[in-house]
Structure 1
Amino acid sequence: MFPKPARVKRRNRFVDYAAYLGVRLVVFIAQSLSMRQSYALADAIAALVYKIDKRHRQVAMENLEHAFGDTYTDEQRDQIVRGVYRHFLRMVMEMLHIPKRLHLTTWRKFITLKGHEPVIERLLKGGPMIMLTGHYGNWEMAGYMFGAFGFPPHSVARVLDNPYLERYLKEFREQTGQKMIAKRGGSDEMLDVLQSGGLLSMLGDQDAGPKGLFVDFFGRPASTFKAIALLAIEFNAPIVVGGARRIGDDFQYLVEVEEIIDVNAENSSPDLIPELTQRYTAALERMVRRDPTQYLWLHRRWKNQPRAKRSKAAA
């Protein structure tokens, strides 16, 4: 007998659509505000969420303690966590304003580029490239900006459970030409992008589960997906690690390239996959250290840990 398939819980279409309408209303209100007013609203919401979201607040405090040890006191860690909530609520507001404010003729008012010259040169020459960032700064901005420049990336993201919100968010993200690829079930599309010499955009700091590749991140083993390194090796695609970091207290960002990792597929060895994975993870860590308040410490990056090897006696 074959095992019975697991039952998929049916979603309430009415609830999903009501949530969608609520989000559209919030977007309408936020887009009618000035940037300063949007920031004020974001700060107020952040202060409220900080108080009621005890679970994620505690996760962030523990992550900071593990990552930085005694570098910060409890009070300083608490201030960083407050800053994390404030940063990401402001980032949400900025995302709503980006389509109206960030264009090919206006981006210089808001964006400063650093280390971008070799990346643009490679894009002009053509060939596959993997653009990698993490849950740091405004990770949505890079994909939007490259699309405005005429180099629309294919960005990998998780599909939302709410189909109405998923469709709306996808349309919003694709306004400048970038295309979205589902994280689950989108492997063939990723291969097609790199096969055709396209630009693939991915997040490289998500927990890969108990079977992931464990590399060092802030002094702790972090389960990391092997797919990024495997794709880079298969298509001989450079991995460009970078991010968009807020500078100052306004809509001003430094979009910086932290490292360009060239892959020599001809001299590949079994150690190349963990080597590449560790290298881009270390680059992400360097960026986070510049401003810990702009990293999503609220998610359980170290959720899975390597299983302790049993000794022969114990076996």
Structure 2
Amino acid sequence: MFSIHDVKNYVKNTSEFLVFRIIGFFVRILPVSGVLLLGNCIGYLCALLFKFRKMEVESHLTIAFPEKGSDWKNKISLRSYKHLAREALLFLRSPQLDENCLRKNVVIEGLEVLEESMRQGSGVMIVSGHLGNWEMGVAALAARGIPVDVVVQSQRNPFIDECLLDLRRRMGIGVITSKQGPYAVLKSLRNGRVTAWLGDQSPGKRSVVVDFLGVPSNTPKGCALLALRSGAPLFFASSIAISNSESRYRLELQKISVPRKQNVAEAVEQLTQAHAKLLGLAIRRNPDQYLWHHRRWKNRDR
């Protein structure tokens, strides 16, 4: 027997999924230039309509860039809305990209070092952040024959969640959901695969406090802990859009030195600080491509 709450949730989820599929249909028939234009328009409208969220974005920019003025923060805030909308739409049409297109449109720096690390046989861990188009970066690795799994959080809407998982699988990307836990990650690494994470959420208790953009920040420690336990090499990755008129990206891979002879807690903090620092540097170079919309510092005063 379904409750009224269940019925309301079903109607809400179904309605959202219908809108999602309609948008997906249009972005698949539009040229890239049309998708980018549509993304700019959607981003601008969201910034205009959701003023409270835009104020929250600017408050996050104030935390990270206290030296910047209001005009700069307003400009970066608007650009970040447009960037997020553009890249979300491009992700929806990404299964249409074949391997040759991904090889052409995504330049990878550090691929040789990654491939050398993979030959060690213990898998490789990649940590990134909500910067640029992280989905396109992972797809570019898969297009080059790199066996890669992404660790993802489940979406609230189960219909949209399954659709997003299917999009990734169609691009040759394996998926590990957060519900599967660390054992699925360790299994992936034992099979010699690459596992990719986003390590800039605000995780609450499952965290270590490190410096991020000049602010003491709760940062997930799971990636660092599993790298130490598995012995897998750890890389930081940033996938940056290098054109606002084309779907072109630069994926930078940087190997992080993993401490071996050290207290585990200290080593976890050192590794977490290392990838947080690299992410912070990448954000400062491309502030308009970071997801300032999520509440990165919601636990900073706890």
**What TM-score, normalized by structure 2, do the two folds share?**
0.92
Shift of residue 265, structure 1, vs aligned partner: 3.1
Shift of residue 267, structure 1, vs aligned partner: 4.4
String of CA shifts for 1:33-68, please: whole Å, max 9, x gaps.
111111111111111100111222112111111211
Q: Secondary structure of 1:88's partner?
A: helix
| Residues 157-176 of structure 1: pairs in structure 2 closer than 5 A | 157-176=152-171
Q: Residue 16 in 1 paired to residue 50 in 2? A: no
Contact 1:221/1:306 (8 A) holds in 2? no
2:143, 2:107 → 1: CA distance? 15
Contact 2:239/2:250 (8 A) holds in 1? yes
Contact 2:141/2:148 (8 A) holds in 1? yes
1:145, 1:268 → 2: CA distance? 36
Q: Residue 244 in 1 paired to residue 244 in 2? A: no
- Select 2:77's aligned residue among 75, 81, 91: 81
Contact 2:126/2:195 (8 A) holds in 1? yes
String of CA shifts for 1:225-274, please: whole Å, max 9, x gaps.
121111011011111101110113221111112x2113243545431111
Give percent identity, aligned residues only: 29
Q: Residue 134 in 1 paired to residue 129 in 2? A: yes
Contact 1:214/1:223 (8 A) holds in 2? yes
Q: 1:84 to 1:303 in 2, by over 3 A?
A: same
| Residues 1-315 of structure 1: pairs in structure 2 closer than 5 A | 10=6, 12-70=9-67, 72-101=68-97, 103-210=98-205, 212-249=207-244, 250-257=246-253, 259-305=254-300, 307=302
Which amino acid in structure 2 is aligned with residue 95 of structure 1?
Answer: F
Which amino acid in structure 2 is aligned with residue 58 of structure 1?
Answer: M
2:113, 2:240 → 1: CA distance? 20
Which amino acid in structure 2 is aligned with residue 53 of structure 1?
Answer: F
Shift of residue 79, structure 1, vs aligned partner: 0.3
Shift of residue 22, structure 1, vs aligned partner: 2.0
1:141, 1:14 → 2: CA distance? 32
2:207, 2:225 → 1: CA distance? 13
- Which moves more between the two structures, 138-147 or 227-236? 138-147
Which amino acid in structure 2 is aligned with residue 66 of structure 1?
Answer: I
Q: Which runs of 5+ in 1 are unaligned?
A: 1-8, 308-315
2:106, 2:177 → 1: CA distance? 28
1:107, 1:24 → 2: CA distance? 24
Contact 2:103/2:143 (8 A) holds in 1? no
Contact 1:152/1:176 (8 A) holds in 2? no
Q: Secondary structure of 2:238's partner?
A: strand
Q: Secondary structure of 2:65's partner?
A: helix
Q: 1:123 to 1:104 in 2, by over 3 A?
A: farther
- Which moves more between the two structures, 289-298 or 141-150? 141-150
Shift of residue 145, structure 1, vs aligned partner: 1.7
Q: Secondary structure of 2:237's partner?
A: strand
Q: What value does the CA root-mean-square deviation take over the aligned residues?
A: 1.9
Aligned positions, number:
297
Q: Secondary structure of 2:81's partner?
A: helix
Which amino acid in structure 2 is aligned with residue 28 of structure 1?
Answer: F
Q: 1:190 to 1:109 in 2, by over 3 A?
A: closer
Shift of residue 194, structure 1, vs aligned partner: 2.1
Which amino acid in structure 1 is aligned with residue 114 of structure 2?
Answer: V
Which amino acid in structure 1 is aligned with residue 24 of structure 2?
Answer: V
2:52, 2:133 → 1: CA distance? 23
**What TM-score, normalized by structure 1, do the two folds share?**
0.88
- Which moves more between the two structures, 263-272 or 183-192? 263-272
Which amino acid in structure 1 is aligned with residue 280 of structure 2?
Answer: E
Shift of residue 104, structure 1, vs aligned partner: 2.5
Which amino acid in structure 2 is aligned with residue 128 of structure 1?
Answer: G
1:244, 1:56 → 2: CA distance? 25
Q: Secondary structure of 1:275's partner?
A: helix
